[in-house]
Structure 1
Amino acid sequence: MVFVVISLSLVLLFLSLPIFLVFGIGSSVVATQGLDLPWSTLIQIAFGAVTKQVLLAIPLFVFAGLVMLRSGVARRLVDFAMALVGHWPGGLGVAMVITMGFFAAFCGSILAAITAVGAIMMPQMLRKGYSAPFTVALAAAAGLLEALIPPSNAAIIYSALTGVPVSDTFAAGVFPGLTLLVILILVVIVRCRHMERETRASLSHRISTFREALPGLLTPVIILGGIYSGLLTPSETAAVASVWAIFLGFTIHRELTFGGLWQSLQGTAVTTAVIFSIIAMATFLSVVLTYTQAPQKLTTFFIEYGVTPIMFLFMVGAICLILGTFVEIVPVFYLTVPVFMAIAMSLEVPLTHLYIVFTAFAGLGLLTPPVCVGLYTASSVINLSADRAFGSAMLFVGVGIVYAVMMIFLPGLATWLPAALR
């Protein structure tokens, strides 16, 4: 049954059907025709999946990020980053990576982060002589920071699937996210060391840009402080972040308009509909897996053949890398996490470590054709054909694979902080 589901889903995928239909049609046909399950059971399970309280944080964090985008926060973060590192080798590229890291700390949407920061930084980089394909690939690669640095939609979805507290998955992404940030900065410095440098900013300019960016920089403090102080749940924290974003836009920066607020609501509705339709349809696959006992059989197979935790994580990474080439990170999670979670627990692999390995490998799909949504989004910002950036993207794919392998051998980066904060 599982083989039939996978085969049918692959056929539908190559027919270019939307991902939620690939999940829904393939799994529902097998569930209703092969396993004789009634439609009412599938609908009830799908409804239960999309009404989990933890998932309420996704649209709220997306909304907060989109409001921040229209409140001038991204521009102020760029100015601050430029004042700090603009004079470094490849300073504009380094500033874009750092700004992406800042923006990741309060925005729940990878594509929104690429658009917000890229629209400001990428034209500047082109004017200074940076290669357009390299600029696009760098923006797409930096978008992976959004999947690691909290708050992250990937972390929320992983928690909904595994039962791991969101506070733990958020904490698990901090050090791996910062590690990736440093690696990307080093790549830019080496790759762009011959580029013309910007003038070093004066101390007074750095202070003034910091003052302007401070309200935005306080957002992660509000988000993470509310969660780890125990005062707020992730959903409540996301609601507070949304209110703070509106207050910041209307009162502090005074750049948010009612038209911009309406556009943010529309963008949130579209993004939420896409994510939740995938979640609803992906539960059909989980029904097939449950009734066929595929996770239990795979667990027995792995144990009987003496697979070690490292071997298991490499297999997980290879599967996520292949799947991430064809589908986005959310459906990859719903395809793989329910199966591999049971195996990880039997092999005593911490679920927070598994989360980072999943995200690191599956997130490379932002750069790998044919889907490569990160590359297409970054290309659209400067009206460049995405295929022109494929060559430069391979550099970051290679860097990303090295980084993901590092995460396999350095579990402490993912497990230490969650344990320390308990």
Structure 2
Amino acid sequence: MTIFLVFSGLIFLLLTGMPVFAALGIAATVILLLFEGNIGSVADTVFAHLDKSILLTVPLFVFMANVMIKARAIDDVFDLANAVIGHVRGGLGVATVMSCTIFAAISGSSVATALSIGSSAIPQMKRFGYHERQALGVIAAGGTLGILIPPSAPMILFAIVSEVSIGALFLAGIVPGVLMALIFSIYCVMSARDASAHPWAGWGNVNAAFRRSFFAIMAPPVVLGGIYLGIFTASEAAAAGSLYALLVATLVYRNFGFRDLWDAAYKSMRTSMMLFMIIAGAAIFGHAITIIRLPHEITQAVTALGLQPLAFILIVMAMIFLMGMFFEAVAIILITTPILLPTMDAMGIDLVWYGILLMVNLELAMITPPVGMNLFVIKGITDAPLSEIVRGAAPFVMLMILGLILLLAFPAIATWLPYTAGFGR
């Protein structure tokens, strides 16, 4: 009964359109007043959760993404992908997926990826014979890779809330991210019956495109390579990535002035403050449900049912898939993680593996109606009917479910790289 009341109250607040941090804070405040009679513990709880050096990664990675977007590095990335593979039947779709993969590793944002790549790729795909529905679906799905491929904002948020190593999660997302991009690419080739390939650009154009985009595509290796080799901690990698982005924007692209720096810093500040407010709200909510022993009750209920870890994960994935139809990724992470974490710990479930499963499920949330953010982003840049965008994205929903099944069946897809790199279980 307690679980039902907490969930229904929180969902009601979110459905009113209230900001996530406010809904979490209000729900937690009501719980604390009812069960403790005061909210004296709120300030200490918020300070304890925000007084962490790992939170430096949030504004730094956001700033890195904003600088690279301002420098318009994405144009060169798409040109390179198109020059390499665009001449093959279905190759422009593959090039779009490749561009989304690279830009996702630069921006860490699904919405930014869909917006930036879509603006360039959709007109090109339609010009070379792709049906509009195909083009819309590729962009909607390709954009979701920003959640899975590091550095990912939802991944950072999950790491902070669950206290799982950000470095381990970043490395765990690489192989599944590449696998998902490969599945999308294979589908693009197999389904491109009506799409005519354009002539081969020639090695000269490929080399020229590679030289123009070299410094842009080196951003992910600088960040992730430093973590993998033990040169950087996650926070230091974020700082190195921001410095690298500034150097590329000012010395290579030379189109980044003081006004652009101000805009990038201002946008990064606003995004970071929003995330910090959400983290504060989640901290209070987590503290409140611990007071009423809600996680303990869930653990006892699961134990009484005799569920095996895999069965429990399947139920959780189904629940998150349904939530993804109505709530954004941040809300899902912050509602479910504090409640489920003790149960997963008790059952010995690998939290790195679970984190990647969660990210794939959140990818699905970006393209499943009625509240799939990428669907509305694509509609905003194309004015295409929402129904057409949903139909275009539908095959990719099935492909993502296939990826989720593969991760469930073979956890090593996610865990092999971080544990090989020395991040212990």
Quick check: 1:17 aligned with 2:27?
A: no
SS of equivalent residue, structure 1 residue 196: coil
CA contact (8 A) 2:108 2:149 kept: no
Other-structure match for 1:29 = 30
Other-structure match for 2:197 = 197
Q: TM-score, normalised by structure 2?
A: 0.94
- 1:89-129 alpha-carbon deviations (Å, 9 max, x no partner): 22222111101111122222222222222222122223334
Other-structure match for 2:4 = 3
Other-structure match for 2:339 = 339
Residue pairs, 1:261-340, within 5 angstroms: 261-340=261-340
More moved, 168-177 vs 84-93: 84-93
Q: What is the CA distance between 1:75 and its match in structure 2?
A: 0.7
Other-structure match for 1:178 = 178
Structure 1 stretches lacking a partner, 5+ long: none
SS of equivalent residue, structure 1 residue 199: coil
| Pair 1:416–1:385, CA change in 2 (3 A) | same
User: How many pairs align?
Assistant: 421
Q: What is the CA distance between 1:372 and its match in structure 2?
A: 0.9
Q: Which amino acid aligns with 1:73?
A: A
Q: What is the CA distance between 1:37 and its match in structure 2?
A: 4.9
Other-structure match for 2:231 = 231
CA contact (8 A) 2:58 2:153 kept: yes
More moved, 185-194 vs 37-46: 37-46
Residue pairs, 1:199-218, within 5 angstroms: 199-218=199-218
Q: Structure 1 CA distance, aligned partners of 2:185 and 2:151?
A: 22
Q: What is the CA distance between 1:387 and its match in structure 2?
A: 4.1
Q: What is the CA distance between 1:315 and its match in structure 2?
A: 0.8
Q: What is the CA distance between 1:373 and its match in structure 2?
A: 1.0
Q: Structure 2 CA distance, aligned partners of 1:133 and 1:40?
A: 54
Other-structure match for 2:94 = 94
Q: Structure 2 CA distance, aligned partners of 1:37 and 1:217?
A: 55
Other-structure match for 2:242 = 242
Residue pairs, 1:100-115, within 5 angstroms: 100-115=100-115
SS of equivalent residue, structure 2 residue 263: helix
| Pair 1:355–1:199, CA change in 2 (3 A) | same
SS of equivalent residue, structure 1 residue 136: helix
CA contact (8 A) 1:226 1:237 kept: yes
CA contact (8 A) 1:113 1:146 kept: yes
CA RMSD of aligned residues (A): 1.8
Q: Which amino acid aligns with 2:178?
A: L
Q: Which amino acid aligns with 1:115?
A: L
Q: Structure 2 CA distance, aligned partners of 1:373 and 1:354?
A: 23
Other-structure match for 2:384 = 384
CA contact (8 A) 1:137 1:375 kept: no
Quick check: 1:409 aligned with 2:409?
A: yes
Q: Which amino acid aligns with 2:141?
A: A
| Pair 1:391–1:89, CA change in 2 (3 A) | same
| Pair 1:245–1:12, CA change in 2 (3 A) | same
More moved, 387-396 vs 355-364: 387-396
Q: What is the CA distance between 1:366 and its match in structure 2?
A: 0.4
Q: What is the CA distance between 1:300 and its match in structure 2?
A: 2.3
Q: What is the CA distance between 1:155 and its match in structure 2?
A: 2.2
